[in-house]
Amino acid sequence: MKLDVRAMALTIGILWGLHFLLFGIFMMFCPSFGGSWIQLWADIYPLYEGSGGVLDTLIGTVFGVVDGIIAGAVIAWLYNRIARNPS
């Protein structure tokens, strides 16, 4: 079975971006929510501070979508290379 690279990239990009969006929304109402998890991503993504503010949440969501698209494309491409039938 061959994976559709575009579909996998978009799926993972949407889900990873949604992860940042939902965490940001939760943090607006409960600032202590997911502190160490958010801090991990704030350390990785350069403009993302993990503050739970509206702009910060949008920045994290954009980073998540772009990062997820790249990761999804690489995962699907690698899967297709490994699972290729030599015949």
pLDDT digits (tens, 9 = 90+) for 20-76: 999 889 888 888 878 888 888 889 888 888 888 899 889 999 999 999 999 999 999
* Positive or negative: CA dihedral 55, 37, 71, 44: positive
Largest CA distance in the chain: 56
Instruction: Say whether 66 sits in a helix, a strand or coil.
Output: helix
Q: Is the alpha carbon torsion for 74, 75, 76, 77 positive or negative?
A: positive
Q: Among residues 66, 57, 61, which one has the least CA distance to residue 27?
A: 57
User: pTM value?
Assistant: 0.85
